[in-house]
Amino acid sequence: MGERDAIADPWGRRTPYGRGGSWPRRVDCRLNDGLTEADVDRWVQSASILHSNGDALDIAVRDNGIVGVRGRADDRVNRGRLGPKDLFGWQANASADRLTRPLVRIDDRLVETDWDTAMDRVVARSRSLLDEHGPSAIGFYTSGQLFLEEYYTLGAIAHGAIGTNHVDGNTRLCTATAAEALKESFGCDGQPGSYTDIDHADVVALFGHNVAETQTVLWERILDRLAGEHPPKLLCVDPRPTVVARHADVHLAPLPGTNLAVMNALLHEVIRNDWTDRRYIDEHTVGFDDLRALVENHSPERVAAQCGIEADELRRAARLLGNATALVSTVLQGFYQANQATAAAVQVNNLHLIRGMLGRPGCGVLQMNGQPTAQNTRECGADGDLAGFRNWANDEHVGELAALWNLDVERIPHFAPPTHAMQMFRYAEQGTLRMLWVSATNPAVSLPELHRIRDILGQSRLFLVVQDIFRTETAEFADVVLPAATWGEKQGTFTNVDRTVHLSDKAVDPPGQARPDLDIFLDYARRMDFRDRDGAPFPPWHDAESAFEAWKRCSAGRPCDYTGMTYDRLRGGSGIQWPCTADHPDGTERLYVDGDFASAPDRCETYGKDLVTGAPMEPDEYRALNPAGKAMIKAAEYVAPHEQPSVEFPLALITGRTLYHLHTRTKTGRVRQLTAAAPEVWVEVSQADAHVLRLVEGDRVRVTSPRGSLTAKARITDIRPGVVFVPFHYGYWDSGPGDEGHERAANELTVTDWDPASKQPIFKTAAARLTRLGSSDGPSAAPTTTASAPVTPGALPTVGGPDATVRETVPAETSSGRDGERGQHQ
Ligand X SMILES: Nc1nc2c(c(=O)[nH]1)N[C@H]1C(S)=C(S)[C@@H](COP(=O)(O)OP(=O)(O)OC[C@H]3O[C@@H](n4cnc5c(=O)[nH]c(N)nc54)[C@H](O)[C@@H]3O)O[C@H]1N2
Q: Which residues bind ligand X (CB under 6 A)?
A: 51-52, 85, 143-146, 170, 173-174, 208-210, 213-214, 237-240, 242, 254, 256-257, 259, 332-334, 337-338, 370-371, 439-443, 445-446, 467-470, 472, 484, 486-487, 517, 654-657, 659, 661-664, 666, 728, 746-747, 750, 763-764, 787
By the 8 A CB rule, do 518 and 150 touch?
Answer: yes
CA separation (Å) from 786 to 106, 142, 237, 267?
Answer: 46, 31, 16, 31
446 binds, among Mo ion, ligand X, none (CB under 5 to 8 A by kind): ligand X
For Mo ion, which residue of 370, 381, 601, 656 counts as binding (CB under 5 A)?
Answer: 370
Residue 23 CB, shortest distance to ligand X, in Å, is: 20
Residue 170 CB, shortest distance to Mo ion, in Å, is: 7
Query: In 201-355, at which residue ranges do the beta strands (DSSP E only) sit?
Result: 203-207, 233-237, 250-252, 285-286, 327-331
- Between 603 and 720, name the residue whose CB sits nearer to ligand X: 720
Q: How many CA atoms lie within 13 A of 717 on its CB side?
A: 28
Residue 331 makes contact with Mo ion by CB under 5 A: no
Residue 230 CB, shortest distance to ligand X, in Å, is: 26
- Between 173 and 768, name the residue whose CB sits nearer to ligand X: 173
Residue 683 CB, shortest distance to ligand X, in Å, is: 13
Residue 726 CB, shortest distance to Mo ion, in Å, is: 16
Residue 625 CB, shortest distance to ligand X, in Å, is: 29
- Between 480 and 598, name the residue whose CB sits nearer to ligand X: 480
Residue 754 CB, shortest distance to ligand X, in Å, is: 12
603 binds, among Mo ion, ligand X, none (CB under 5 to 8 A by kind): none
605 binds, among ligand X, Mo ion, none (CB under 5 to 8 A by kind): none
Angle at CA of residue 231, ends 227 and 236, nearest 5°: 95
Buried b / exposed e across 110-135, counting CB within 10 Å, b at 16+?
bebbeeeebbebbbebbeebbeeeeb
- Between 338 and 617, name the residue whose CB sits nearer to ligand X: 338
Which amino acid is it at 192? P
Residue 375 CB, shortest distance to Mo ion, in Å, is: 12
Give the Cα separation of 232 and 206 in Å (integer): 13
- Between 267 and 659, name the residue whose CB sits nearer to ligand X: 659
491 binds, among Mo ion, ligand X, none (CB under 5 to 8 A by kind): none
Residue 371 CB, shortest distance to Mo ion, in Å, is: 5
CA separation (Å) from 533 to 156, 163, 404, 522, 547?
Answer: 14, 14, 11, 18, 19
- Between 539 and 656, name the residue whose CB sits nearer to ligand X: 656
**Phi-psi region at 473: left, alpha or beta (left = phi > 0; alpha = psi -120 to 50):** alpha
Residue 174 CB, shortest distance to Mo ion, in Å, is: 3
Residue 52 CB, shortest distance to Mo ion, in Å, is: 8
240 binds, among Mo ion, ligand X, none (CB under 5 to 8 A by kind): ligand X
467 binds, among ligand X, Mo ion, none (CB under 5 to 8 A by kind): ligand X
- Between 142 and 194, name the residue whose CB sits nearer to ligand X: 142
**Stretches 28-36, 172-180, 402-410, 586-594: which one binds Mo ion (CB under 5 A)?**
172-180
- Between 363 and 654, name the residue whose CB sits nearer to ligand X: 654
By the 8 A CB rule, do 705 and 655 touch?
Answer: no
For Mo ion, which residue of 174, 248, 263, 723 counts as binding (CB under 5 A)?
Answer: 174
Residue 586 CB, shortest distance to ligand X, in Å, is: 28
What's the order of all strands across the beta sheet hosting 65-71?
Answer: 2-5, 805-809, 27-31, 65-71, 56-62, 42-47
Q: Work out the number of other CB atoms within 10 angstroms of the CB of residue 79.
A: 27
Binding track over 527-556 against Mo ion, x by CB under 5 A:
------------------------------
**Stretches 135-143, 167-175, 223-231, 550-558: which one binds Mo ion (CB under 5 A)?**
167-175
- Between 51 and 292, name the residue whose CB sits nearer to Mo ion: 51
Residue 429 CB, shortest distance to ligand X, in Å, is: 19
By the 8 A CB rule, do 300 and 265 touch?
Answer: yes
Eight-state DSSP code of residue 457: H
Residue 447 CB, shortest distance to ligand X, in Å, is: 7
Give the Cα separation of 408 and 804 in Å (integer): 56
- Between 370 and 418, name the residue whose CB sits nearer to Mo ion: 370
79 binds, among Mo ion, ligand X, none (CB under 5 to 8 A by kind): none
- Between 419 and 668, name the residue whose CB sits nearer to ligand X: 668
Residue 311 CB, shortest distance to ligand X, in Å, is: 18
397 binds, among Mo ion, ligand X, none (CB under 5 to 8 A by kind): none
- Between 322 and 488, name the residue whose CB sits nearer to ligand X: 488
- Between 76 and 85, name the residue whose CB sits nearer to ligand X: 85
Nearest CA among 681, 635, 640, 627 for reference residue 658: 681
- Residue 162 contacts by C-beta under 8 Å, 6 or more apart in sequence? 126, 130, 135, 138, 530
- Between 347 and 441, name the residue whose CB sits nearer to ligand X: 441
CA separation (Å) from 752 to 111, 115, 642, 729?
Answer: 33, 36, 11, 19
- Between 595 and 706, name the residue whose CB sits nearer to ligand X: 706
Instruction: Report how many residues bind Mo ion under the rule CB under 5 A.
Output: 3
Positive or negative, the Cα torsion across 259, 745, 443, 498? Answer: positive
Give the Cα separation of 129 and 136 in Å (integer): 9
Straight-line distance from the first to the last Cα atom of the chain, in angstroms, rounded to the nearest whole number: 19
Binding track over 177-216 against Mo ion, x by CB under 5 A:
----------------------------------------
- Burial label for 153, CB within 10 Å (0-12, 13-18, 19+), is buried
Nearest CA among 245, 215, 212, 248 for reference residue 233: 248
Q: Work out the number of other CB atoms within 10 angstroms of the CB of residue 563.
A: 20
185 binds, among Mo ion, ligand X, none (CB under 5 to 8 A by kind): none
> Which residues, listed in sequence order, are joined to residue 701 by a DSSP beta bridge?
712, 772
By the 8 A CB rule, do 237 and 259 touch?
Answer: yes
Give the Cα separation of 455 and 708 in Å (integer): 14
Residue 483 CB, shortest distance to Mo ion, in Å, is: 24
Nearest CA among 235, 299, 236, 290 for reference residue 267: 299
Angle at CA of residue 390, ends 386 and 392, nearest 5°: 65
Which amino acid is it at 715? R
- Strands 364-367 and 435-439 come out as unpaired
592 binds, among ligand X, Mo ion, none (CB under 5 to 8 A by kind): none
Q: Which residue is nearest to ligand X, using beta carbons?
A: 370
- Between 487 and 622, name the residue whose CB sits nearer to ligand X: 487
CA separation (Å) from 232 to 18, 37, 135, 204, 249?
Answer: 10, 37, 53, 7, 10
Nearest CA among 207, 197, 284, 281 for reference residue 244: 207
Q: Which residues here bind Mo ion, judged by CB under 5 A?
A: 174, 370-371
